[in-house]
A and B are shown apart, each in its own frame.
Chain A
Amino acid sequence: MADTAELKEREQKLQGMGASLLRKEDARFIRGQGTYIDDLTLPGMLFGAIVRSPFAHARITSIDKQKALACPGVVAVLTADDLKPVNLHWMPTAGGDVQAVLADKKVCFQYQEVAMVLATDRYAAYDGAALVEVGYEELPAITDPKQALAAGAPVIREDIADKKDVGHGPRTHPNHIFTWESGNKAAADAAFKSAAITVREEILNPRVHPCPLETCGCVASFNKATGYLTVYVTSQIPHLFRTVLAMLSGLAESKIRVVGGDIGGGFGNKVPIYPGYVVATVASIVTGVPIKWIESRIDNISTTGFARDYHGVGELAADKDGRIKGLRFSALADHGAFNSHVSASKLPAGLFSICTGSYAIPNAYCRVDAVYTNKAPGGVAYRCSLRVTEAVYLIERMMDVLAQKIGVDKAEIRRRNFVKAEQFPYTTSLGWTLDSGAYHAALDKVLTAVDYEGLRREQAAKRADPKCPTLMGIGISTFTEIVGAGPTKVCDILGIGLFDSCDIRVHPTGAVIARLGTMSQGQGHATTYSQIIATELGLPASDIVIEEGDTDKAPYGAGTWGSRSTPVAGAAAATAARKIKDKARKIAAHLLEVGEGDLEWEIDRFKVRGNPSQAKTMKEICLVSHTGNLPPGMEQGLNAVAYYDPPNLTFPFGAYLCVVDIDKFTGETKVRRFYALDDCGTRINPMVIEGQIHGGLTEAFAVALGQQLPFDESGNHLGNSLMDYFLPTAMETPHWETDHTVTPSPHHPIGAKGVAESPHVGGIPCFSNAVIDAFAHLGVTHMDMPHSSYRVWRKCQELGVNKRPGDA
């Protein structure tokens, strides 16, 4: 029998699951050798610049191209009228609506795409764009969704004003998109009627933007001779992107190749199909030369992929001890000018019904009303599954509101309502079956680690001291996430199920190429997938190459968003590897002349049970599988493809605690401590997980304390550059403390749940709860984000907490 040291050495050699293997991607990124879309130059390539509307709502009275066409280097100016002959001036959206590719007679949001100027270089294109003269007749704009449904409100979408339905049920107003509901309203109402305690709060998730470092862009290249179209694009969903291009262009899907390349961050911003991509592609098909289109930062923040803009109302009903009996949540969703919101066909409000959180709530009802406004369309899930941040923010805020109402500690109110460990799998009153969890243990571990009682004592002492210059707040968030979309019976986009896939090819030397339907944007897939396969196959991760994002190479999959890569494609990788291992076992049995049942697996080899010196390593089997010495009838090769349709989503969870000190006189919020315990089930690469948590917490910090896309009453965007939009750097970002528990998912092949979004989803309410807790003793139950110094300072002013002795 092999000794323990030898086993350990063999295991370490694999660098499989559980190892903090350094990310394979980073060698090229830290050398500046990543290849992004804008690094690409093809022969004869033209550059496209978009002419955008200065008005949020206006009729287009004229478009004069003459001066632009006279500009040196300008080749063409495309408008809606030029796309009409190919019927591509409008395009269908995933939400069941249509969206103007280039504005057709009317603009409905500021910076809307009106024309594209094609020129020999980027500078000429922008010079030309400045010379396109567009006549506008300004119309009154709506930027507040609460005004959208008023009688006599300006009709934003005249093109569909008469349509009774835009994909999701009857409409009640020309600016109404859909009303969606879930749960049992009568039961929830009854629970409220008989409840000892009820609380209600209006809670806003403001419009924000994921703002990835790399903006969106593409290079479309159509070869007229072969009829092949290649599109290099910043897309998180290359395969679905190709399908949509095939539907739009009429080209055979097999003649379209979509390539993702390296992507400089996505966070949802790179899921939608944007007009810029479509115009560039059409232009290339028409001209036969490659067309590059790259967004500027202002274009990116103002027009592509915003998030949230959910105007929520939360209500809880509880008994006198704070045990929740009923939940009613509603939200008014501002979808902007077109319903090009990313969503699965049957889930127009995404996964909002996860809003019962980590709690056993017997009666629940939720409802979302979506409306058009004169703001940019194309809402995305910013580092979350769609509408999960909004849902979790509501329930985690409302738990604090309830605790304050009945005077119970904010940790205790959670303990009293948690789903208990022995209740899993637990089906919520809104219909989700939470796969596994250990909420009490997670919270208790955090409270012990930070000395919660001590913190509360310190807070009480500071509150009692009128001379204390700061307000101390303690925020708790005990969230449950829902990731890994998803089971094809409930989740599809354009009719295509949200399964994922993995194609593994094992070479004679034991080196492996695995191709998956997902698309890394910085998540470290090349590292983590190789570790899953390494453990499953007993071959070293260093020799396993991962390829994604090139539709000519990878099998079909729904891409990377909603923390679905590990839960879905990771499962496909494990499943494909197990198929290979099954074949390898047959080969090993043949070589060792024993029955398959006589073999046992040990790290990297099959051993004969009871005769451990008789073994075949996976590496040996790899070579043999390419010879003639195989069991009778067996084909050569050691390859497998797996398509994985998840039986359920996965439900990672966590317990976070944040301590803030707010300067009463400046409103500045200092994050003293942030302790994040995450449970994402089986952990594949602890270092990658920690990196994801740091990133997600940083983006949560950004949203809670500074990010916002404000508009004035005319629809002018007032925060679309990095001068205004808060993107935290190492200067502002707090220190993070991370911890974990491990509660594997029972239905996932390796028990993994997904992790990248948890810190964002769970972090935002934790920061908000901390800031609001600092004011809780003054009767404050809610403050809307972002908690910028100015807004917090105004709260201090309003409450008079910053009066110095002697002030009037």
Chain B
Amino acid sequence: MSGGTMSNGRYWIAHNAGVLTAVVLFAVMFTLYVSNHSAGLTPAVATTAANKAVLLALVAMAQTLPVLTRGLDLSVGMVFVMTNCIASAIVVGSVGEGLLGVVAVLAIGALAGFVNGAIVVWGRLQPIITTLATGAVYYGIALFIRPSPGGDVQSDIADLLTGQLFGTVPAALVVLLGVVLVIWIPYRRSVLGRAAYAVGSNEQAAYMSGVPVQRAKLLAYTLAGLLAAVGGLMLTFNTYSGEASAPIAGAYTLNSIAAVVIGGTSLFGGWGSAIGSIFGAFVLRTIEDLLFVFDLPPLWQPLFQGVVLLVAVSLGAFRILRVRNRLELFT
């Protein structure tokens, strides 16, 4: 497909145009934010911004995996909130006990994702409606554990992961980098990771070519649950408590979809990357911070945020300018 006319570099740029747009957008907005912030770019400012942004980035990464297989996970926000509540109950005590709790929370998140995947693959239900229903179940479990906000978390681990490394680098960013290196990159290079892209492009063709369709989907949903659980853990480390909040869960689910789209991943599957979603999430979070430093009247903030979101997702409409045959519009 690259052909002889396109050099490797140009092909790479064309392939990653969505991600690059998100990166540039984020760089411009963050520069604007820092240059207008009264304190400038201090480690404290960066850490506060990173701690908030990493939560959405993790949930957006989680959303990316099912979307790549042409699915969707409307329960990521609920898994995020559920693991937050569970973590606030079991990640306590000594450092060792806390670490054990962390492992348990991650396992629960992965299990929740696996259940989604199992219903989609073996139950053959549509991902949208499946995750809508399982989301209600996960939210019920969260409410069961935390009928009212509260709980605690192992403070040594929490302080380590939400503070700064060597007094400069926000630890949350290191966690995010770790997740990318340990989960996303190996997944992207694995057989099942490539299979996920194939399934997203054309499931029938992938099946006919002997691609392990079912295992690819199962793994995508399971990893989505795992990543959402990492997000839930980080939320607990930030807030030192658990809260079964439906608005928080809903907001994270919806923003994760927006972040995925801004990061250049196609909702029709088979195209995109979790790296793009991370920067999509950073863009969304920086919008909020920008409103703060520019002192926009609070009443106008929701409208401004909404308009920016709508304009950002409408950027995808530029593809219709490249369409030569009207029938291509319908795919």
- State whether these chains interact: no
